[in-house]
Amino acid sequence: MTRTRVLAALLMAPVAILAILFLPTPWMAALAAIVFLLGLWEWLKLAEIGDTLQRTVLLVLNLMLMVLLLWASGSPLVLLQIATLVGVGWWVLSLLWLRFYDFASDHDTHARVFKLAAGTLATLPAWCALVLIHSGEPFGHRWLLTALMVVWAADSGAYFAGRQFGTLKLAPRISPNKTIEGLLGGLVAGVGVGLAAGWYAGATVAQLPQLALLCAVTVLFSVLGDLFESLLKRHVGAKDSGTLIPGHGGILDRIDGVLAALPVFLVGKEILGL
């Protein structure tokens, strides 16, 4: 399984990196919308929307929201910025949901409504943040690559550190395989890779402490996104969100951390002046 996981990552990573660095922002926005909506499709399935037509309608509505946000934002993309802030607020609020594990776990209509709202609040702000980061001047594409590399490195660092050293459970009821040692390994890997990628994106030596702080917070929120998806899976007894990616599961299994990390990375980057 580890070999399959690594091989799949080696195939996907170059494609993603080339797209980020060389596609113009409108094309990058369209490609990201496809990926995020595929992840949302799996989210809707975890929310127990079993009817294909219903999931299709909900997906189209979210696509229309993306188009509307972009069309109505104007040149400063104000609505995208507001949506990004809403996304940060949602992920902070999601800590309460993780704390009260059984909330919306009863498989009825009200539970589905909460999970549908959570799917939109996770997906749309992340897409807005991605568009804003990539469109930034002069090296927005490099900063987007930095944000994603922080998440990728943290995920890999946590996986291997957890397998090698993991003993202390991080959230055993939500995700039994996650450990505190894995979290620390992910932090080290994410911050280390983020510093190198951020320097490539234009951060100065004097800005490295702020960049390290930003990377650390981004890693923590990526873990939050991962845990929240694990919560959804535990509620319905699913191991993965899908089977599309060998060794990794579904699309949502790959972007759950990204959904939480991108809005926080953008807001933190602006606050810290990077």
Q: pLDDT tens-digit profile of 92-128?
A: 999 999 999 889 888 888 888 999 999 999 999 999 9
Pick the residue with more confidence: 1 or 56?
56
Distance CA 114, CA 147 (A): 28
Pick the residue with more confidence: 3 or 163?
163
Residue 225: closest CA among 185, 175, 268: 175
pLDDT tens digit sequence for 189-217 = 999 999 999 999 999 999 999 999 999 99
Please give the pLDDT value at position 108. 82
Domains of the chain: total: 1
Phi, psi of 168 (to 5 degrees): -90, 120
Distance CA 274, CA 188 (A): 21
Phi, psi of 206 (to 5 degrees): -65, -20
Give the model's confidence band at 6: pLDDT under 50 very low, under 70 low, under 90 confident, else very high. Answer: low
Strand positions, DSSP E, 144-198: 169-171, 175-179
Check pLDDT > 90 for residue 5. Answer: no
Check pLDDT > 60 for residue 247. Answer: no
Of the CA atoms within 13 Å of residue 182, those in its CB half-sphere come to 20
Check pLDDT > 80 for residue 273. Answer: yes
In sequence order, the 6+-apart residues with CB closer than 8 A to the CB of 197 are 142, 145, 146, 149, 150
Q: Model's pTM, two decimal places?
A: 0.94
Distance CA 198, CA 192 (A): 10
Range name among 3-7, 67-71, 92-96, 198-202 with the lowest pLDDT average: 3-7
Per residue in 167-190, is it b (16+ CB within 10 Å) or e — as a string?
eeebbeebbeebbbbbbbbbbbbb
Distance CA 164, CA 200 (A): 31
Please give the pLDDT value at position 25. 94
- Which residue range forms the structural domain that includes residue 42? 2-272
Give the model's confidence band at 50: pLDDT under 50 very low, under 70 low, under 90 confident, else very high. Answer: confident
At residue 1's C-alpha, the angle toward residues 156 and 147, to 5°, is 20
| End-to-end CA separation in angstroms for the chain | 39
Please give the pLDDT value at position 141. 96
Check pLDDT > 70 for residue 140. Answer: yes
